[in-house]
Structure 1
Amino acid sequence: MILDDDQIRALVARPGEALSVEIKRWIDPSQPAGIAKIVKAAFALRNRNGGFLVIGFDDKTLQPDAANAPPDIRATFHQDVIQGLVSRYANEPFEVHVAFVEHEGGSFPVIAIPPGVRIPVVVKNSLSEGTGDKLLAVGDVYFRTLHANGTPSTAAARPHDWRDILDICFDNREADIGRFLRRQLAGQDASRLVAAFQGEAAPVDVLRERCNALLQQGQERFIGAQKDRGLSIVEQVLLDQLSWEIALAIDPPRPDALPDKEFLATIAASNPKYTGWPIWLDARTMSDERSRPVVRGGAWEALIVGLSDDTSNRLEFSRLDPKGEFYLRRLLQDDAVPRRIEPGTRLDPVLMIYRVTEAIAVGIAAAKGLGWSETATLGFMFRWRKLEGRRLDSWANPVIYVPGGGPSREDVITTFVEVPLTTAPSALPGLVEAATRELFVAFDGTRLSAETYEEQARRLIERRLTF
């Protein structure tokens, strides 16, 4: 399993629980209680289709649990130790990976659980304490789920969890079939095929109109937020660099929903966190209080601005409206790391496939977490600004060859896709292609292969990125 170092570091630098991330205090993997905690968390994350177990933090305060750290952290949580526990208790053994992150003078283990579950992981051996109390029982199935208040937790699967578990397993089983069908139907218009099978005409595109209005509103709110913030002269330079906007509208809308804390917590908990700086980042614990979300105009808004010499510059504005309208404006990496690439010169198509895949996947996860029904449809509108004069270049992933193109003569590109809430992860590559082909063709007519979309979208979903 290949891990994204930036993502692993971010999990420790900005710890926070989600359906795909569990935080634990220091525990002892050699003692029954510690074994049970690791096994339950690992199995729950696996059944949720992968994630991370971060050890050494208080899950309430999210501060390091420095007082209880073992004397030899790397030996205590060695890869072989953790893998041995999983293999001993899992009916279907799976590979795990243990990474160690240095933070605030300490070392913290991050246990990565891979996606791809096809059969629910079940406890195959029981475990008891010396008192006789049973900690693990044969047949137990654990799952990461949300409580009524939006708090993610690990628990024995309940009746309402089994639908999600089975959907995840079936999605993974259907991935190979989906890839086969996409190869056979390459170049076909999916909407026309569906209409032909159903014998129906395509409905009026109301979602497109909502997304277009949302882009306009989001841009206006962003201008107001950055003026209120009072950017410095140096920070204002970021306003004129490569930006990417997302407008997500969910149908049907919820006009009476309120932007309370539970709504924001549910979105944060539902985010799969595929990257170290995920789409619709949970900014509630940002060290700069000015970057934390606040309620304005019936929605949660957050403006994050940061200049860095050793990582990446940041300029990001988000707006989360509980009626089902989410907006994001982000400075793209191509102009945010001047020590690696000269701003204004390139657009990395592989990075863009990752970002669009993540945007759609996170939008689906958020809508499900917020309780939209299976009949819901998501509209995504994407807009890129400051494209003129750039060339396509996979500069961040030089080992991945993508035919270059350009320079672009277009400065702004806008695209739109509709996504059923029931869309399986295996169907994402086709949607990402639909959302980006107009973007890439602006660079001297460049078209990327279906195999490129397939492989790179899967790398993101399977957390196999190597930035």
Structure 2
Amino acid sequence: MAEPPPDALQSLIDDPNETLGAEYKAEVELATPLGRAKLARHLAALANHGGGYLIIGFNDELKPQEPRPALPTRDDVGRVVKRYLEPPLQCDVRTLRDAGQRTYGVIVVPAHGATPVCAAADGPQDAAGRVQGITRGVHYIRKPGPESAPLLTSQEWTPLIRRCALAERSSLLGAIEVALRGSTQVTSLDAVLASWIDAASVAYSRGVEANLPDRRIATARFHFAYAIETQGDPLKLSDLSGVLRRVAHELDQQVHTGWGMFHVFDGPIGPRFKTDPRLDEGDLEFLEMNLLEQDSKVGMTDLWRVTATGLASLQRGYIEDTHWWKDIPPGQVFSPNQMAMSVTELVRHASLFAREFGEATQVHFRCEWRGLQGRRLHDFHHPWMFSGHPAAEDARRARASATVGALEASWADVAAELAGPVARAFGIGHLMTPAWFVGQSAAWLPR
């Protein structure tokens, strides 16, 4: 039996690091009105930050709390949300263990939508009649410290209002474009995207040559890229890492794959800003994470790059070739479900990232799979319905373009179009329809 793949949430436990998007608590006192009010304040602030995590079981020094605290359930959190917050949130609650088998709770807080989250009720009063924990009518955000505090200034309102406007814009575009299926057009971004892909491929190949002994397996990989077409200004470089963290958090609520695409690690393996002389724009800065150069212990061969102008590229070895598939030798199998999950994750990531660009119109995708020859179909958790179908070719490529609204309303159409070439290489192209993607998507949600 294959082991489960790594999970990004586990890093919150294995390497605790309090940030604006991650609040650590020794416990939550659900038995007291004040404890419930404080929890509601943190949930509101994390939602208005663009989503985040509240981790339970660590003391102020980020060491395991002793004695171990009681952990809330999803129903416990739901009751707090219903009592104190408007509009209500659908928070998830997960239980994780550390190497010592201590149990921790992680409350996964989604981002606000078109309306920011506001306190709908006061917390309890102290002896002097002062409200404690949370105050009705107040919007809370995450501030340096970190802390969950009231939103006070116009500068603090700006990013919150912008995210609300982008969420509303995406929803409207999706509804309009369902009725008005305007044709997409190939633009000058084609040349830019081709150059972007080639430069990333060279960087990956050099990393394999310098750091990995088994080059045959290491060079078997998929390469996904996209370019956002926008008439607006690029993002600020100083905001890019935070934007990617927020997008990754929202993406995890739609497609939970463990280590998500474009995951922003903390510490020494975290992404760095770089340039590449192979690009036509030699001074173009991009954020790069390159696990080929790091002793990350993640066991993946990721190399991703993202620019503030909306270019993104990810290269990753097949999880089927890692030790998580310990019963099957590397290079032997190809999982249709893993491929479909990855393609869906790419499409949804592009859709969420495009929201950050106020005047984004289209997204252009390119996908490539290498090292297919000699592989047979085999799924991660159970045999595929046509196990054993061998690949007809060693490499396949796919391309698609879609409007921002179409990505919101018809993501499965785009995913099926991108998956088509590699599915046909294994003789199952007729099975991977948009309806099949929609049907499978429920299994990719976090549990």
The answer to whether the aligner puts 1:85 opposite 2:80 as a matched pair is: yes
Q: Per the alignment, in what secondary structure is the counterpart of residue 39 of structure 1?
A: helix
| Residue of structure 1 equivalent to 2:211 | 231
Structure 2 gap ranges (5+): 277-284
Partners of 1:89 and 1:125 within 8 A in 2: yes
Residues 291 and 300 of structure 2 are in contact (CA less than 8 Å); yes or no, is this contact kept in structure 1? Answer: yes
Partner of 1:331: 317
TM-score, normalised by the number of residues in structure 1: 0.72
SS at match of 2:358: coil
Cα distance, 1:169–1:413 mapped onto 2, change above 3 Å: same
Aligned to 2:225: 247
In structure 1, what residue type is equivalent to 2:223? E
The CA RMSD over aligned residues, in Å, is: 4.5
CA contact (8 A) 1:54 1:110 kept: yes
What letter corresponds to residue 220 of structure 1 in structure 2? V
Give 1:302's match in structure 2, choosing from 274, 283, 289: 289
Task: Indicate whether 1:109 and 2:110 are aligned.
Answer: no
- For the structure 1 residues 39 and 138, does the alpha-carbon distance in structure 2 shift closer, same or farther, using more than 3 Å as the test? same
SS, match of residue 291 in structure 2: strand
Aligned match of 1:320: 306
Q: One-letter code of the match for 1:264?
A: S
Aligned counterpart in structure 2 of residue 65 of structure 1, from 58, 62, 67:
62
Contact preservation (8 Å) 1:26, 1:55: yes
1:407-446 alignment, distance < 5 Å: 407-423=390-406, 425-446=408-429
Q: Distance in 2 between matches of 1:257 and 1:42?
A: 27
Is structure 2 residue 198 aligned with structure 1 residue 216? Answer: yes
1:416-443 Cα deviation digits (max 9, x unpaired): 1224345554422121111111221121
Structural mapping, 1:114-263, within 5 Å: 123-130=119-126, 131=128, 132-140=130-138, 158=157, 161-162=160-161, 164-165=163-164, 168=167, 193-195=181-183, 202-227=184-209, 230-234=210-214, 236=215, 238-241=217-220, 243-252=221-230, 260-263=237-240
Mean alpha-carbon deviation: is it higher for 440-449 or for 212-221?
A: 440-449
Aligned partners of 2:216, 2:293: CA distance in 1, in Å? 12
Indicate if the aligned counterparts of 2:54 and 2:108 stay in contact, CA closer than 8 A: yes
SS in structure 1 of the partner of residue 331 of structure 2? coil
After TM superposition, the score normalised by the length of structure 2 is 0.75
2:267 is the counterpart of 1:266: no
CA distance in 2 between partners of 1:368 and 1:171 (Å)? 7
Matched, 1:389 2:374: yes
- In 1, Cα distance between equivalents of 2:398 and 2:147: 34
d(CA) in 1 for partners of 2:321, 2:218: 11
- Matched to 2:372, the amino acid is L
The CA deviation at 1:459 is: 4.5
| Residue number in structure 1 paired with 2:438 | 454
Q: Is the 2:57–2:104 contact (alpha carbons within 8 Å) kept by the matching residues of 1?
A: yes
Shift of 1:338: 3.9
**Displacement after TM superposition at 1:115 (Å):** 8.5
Letter in 1 for 2:24: K
- Shift, 1:444, TM fit: 1.9
Tell me how far 1:126 sits from its aligned partner: 1.5
Taking the aligned partners of 1:264 and 1:51, their CA distance within structure 2 comes to: 14
Partner of 1:429, secondary structure, is helix
Distance in 1 (CA, whole Å) between partners of 2:313 and 2:240 is 15
CA contact (8 A) 2:289 2:304 kept: yes
Contact 2:288–2:306 (8 Å) recurs in 1: yes
**Alignment partner, residue 282 of structure 2:** none
Counterpart secondary structure, 1:71: coil
1:161 & 1:122 partners in 2: Cα distance? 12
Question: Which one of the candidate residues 264, 268, 279 is aligned to 2:261?
Answer: 279
CA contact (8 A) 1:100 1:110 kept: yes
Structure 1 residue ranges without an equivalent (≥5):
196-201
**Compared CA separation, residues 5 and 293, structure 1 to 2 (3 A):** closer
Per the TM alignment, residue 91 of structure 1 is displaced from its structure 2 partner at its CA by 5.5
Indicate if the aligned counterparts of 1:246 and 1:382 stay in contact, CA closer than 8 A: yes
- What percentage of residue pairs aligned between the two structures are identical? 18
Aligned to 1:41: 42
The residue type equivalent to 1:281 in the other structure is H
1:199-256 superposed Cα distances (whole Å, 9 cap, x missing partner): xxx53443333222221111112233445xx32535x454243x01122223248999
Residues 228 and 310 of structure 2 are in contact (CA less than 8 Å); yes or no, is this contact kept in structure 1?
A: yes
SS of corresponding position for 2:261: coil
| Shift in alpha-carbon separation, 1:293–1:225, aligned structure 2, 3 A | farther
1:24 is matched with 24
- Kept in 2, the 8 Å contact 1:17–1:152? The answer is no
Q: In 1, are the aligned partners of 2:334 and 2:377 still within 8 Å (CA)? A: yes
CA spacing shift, 1:410–1:45, aligned 2, 3 Å:
farther
Q: Quickly say closer, same or farther: Cα 1:367–1:115, change in 2 above 3 A.
A: closer
Match of residue 199 from structure 1: none
Q: Which amino acid letter does the alignment assign opposite residue 412 of structure 2?
A: P
SS of corresponding position for 1:6: coil
Are 1:362 and 2:354 counterparts? Answer: no
Task: Point out the more displaced range, 130-139 or 115-124.
Answer: 115-124
Match of residue 293, structure 1, among 245, 254, 272: 272
Q: What is the distance in 2 between the residues matched to 1:85 and 1:354? A: 33
Secondary structure of 2:364's match?
strand
